[in-house]
Chains A and B, each alone.
Chain A
Amino acid sequence: MRKLIVLSAIAVLALASPALALNETFTVTGNLGVATSAGKCTSLTYPSLCPSGDNCVCYTAKKTSLHTASGGILTIPPGTTQVAVSVDTTDMTSHPGCAPAWGEVHYSQTGGSDMATIEFFASLCKPMSPGAPQTFSGGGALTDSLFVIPFFGAIDVTGFGTATGTYFAGAAGQNLTLSLTATLPIP
């Protein structure tokens, strides 16, 4: 009974704290490659911002997985993760160099209500040494989500942060790792 009271008190305190925030790292992995359709990605909203007059190449990922790497209170149940990145090859900083990349990750839980949308903009740079991967350096936001969190129930969490990652062009298997380290205020 005493334990229950203590747990309840913690829960009430947590709910009452307006400054409570989570620092979470969302990591998506998968096999990224050029989509079969030409031009920028149009299936998700943010990648479609790649300028229409430029040569934008759409990358999509297979065998994707989204999880939280920081071991916080957010857990991501099994679900479907869609990844789309439009890379603007017209506006590279140099040749070779770094291209603007407009990306979005959309996750929806299998058989449940959890969902998340991550938008990011990053500079996708060619490898800086032989055998090294291409790198993403940028930032983004968890623009929309619904997660069931212990003591809180189902809540809508948004947040923003840095987005970094690597991509081994042409490699089989998990050739993409992209992480969004975000601060998420809990309402």
Chain B
Amino acid sequence: MNRFVIGFVALGLALGATQALAVTTAIRYATIVGTASAPTGSQCTEGYANQCPSGSCTCVQIPSATVGLVTGRVALAGKGTANLFLTFDNGAATVSASGDCTPFFGVAELTTKRAGKASSETLNLNGVSCNPLTTANSPILGGFGISKTPTPVNGGTGFGKVTGFLDPSGSVSLKLHGRITQ
């Protein structure tokens, strides 16, 4: 009888451990909110942001941004902070008489707590920021992917879309959602 109980407990523990380590793929969400620095005179030098196809770029940093959850949605990264580096390729802007849209290449270095564990991962981003359209804010649209380098710690793999805006005071608000395995 004792052997049976011990065996049953061992099986239960094994199943629990398997469940804790289970890898799942889902559409996951995150928000990043912070304050942008003034643009500097050249491209950022951080990872994926270190590129400037046209040769005429500026770098915007968003230090210590807040990484958060989207209510009712599966978390992409948990809660924590992020440092963002965005290279705006001004030389590749699509220009009209009334305004333009400027391509960007960026990284978001996330340090968060996910499922009770410390997590760090870097997101590569590209997209555009346009001059204000229907509101006073500049819309941001693009895509992202979880970088393999540096190796994510308690992170995931995958990619998705990013939307958001930059308001006139310099506040940046981004929402990410993507197909992420973790």
Taking Cβ atoms with an 8 Å cutoff, the residues of A that contact B are: 46, 49-51, 91-100, 102, 119-126, 128-129, 135, 137-143, 158-164, 182-185
Contacts and interface: CB of A to CB of B under 8 A. Distances in A.
B75 interface: no
A74 B81 CA distance: 47
Contacts of B141: 122-123, 137-139, 162-164
Contacts of A184: 98
A121 B141 CA distance: 10
B159 A121 contact: no
19 contacts: A49-B53, A94-B148, A97-B143, A98-B142, A98-B143, A98-B144, A98-B145, A98-B159, A100-B103, A121-B127, A123-B126, A139-B94, A139-B101, A139-B130, A143-B95, A160-B100, A161-B101, A162-B133, A162-B141
Interface of B: 27, 48, 51, 53-54, 92, 94-101, 103, 105, 123-131, 133-134, 139, 141-148, 157-163, 178-179
Nearest to B148: A94
Contacts of B95: 141, 143, 160
Given A98-B159, A162-B139, A164-B141, A141 B146 contact: no
Contacts of A140: 94, 101, 128
B92 A94 contact: no
- Grouping DSSP codes into helix (H, G, I), strand (E, B) and loop, the A interface class, with mixed when no group exceeds half, is strand
The residue among A141, A159, A183 with the most chain B CB atoms within 10 A of its own CB is A141
Contacts of B139: 139, 162
B179 A93 contact: no
Nearest to A92: B145
Contacts of B161: 98, 123, 125, 135, 137
Given A98-B126, A123-B142, A135-B161, A183 B48 contact: no
A98 to B, nearest CB: 3
A93 B101 contact: no
A49 B53 CA distance: 7
Contact of B98 (A46, A121, A122, A183): A183
Contact of A141 (B48, B101, B134): B101
A121 B92 contact: yes
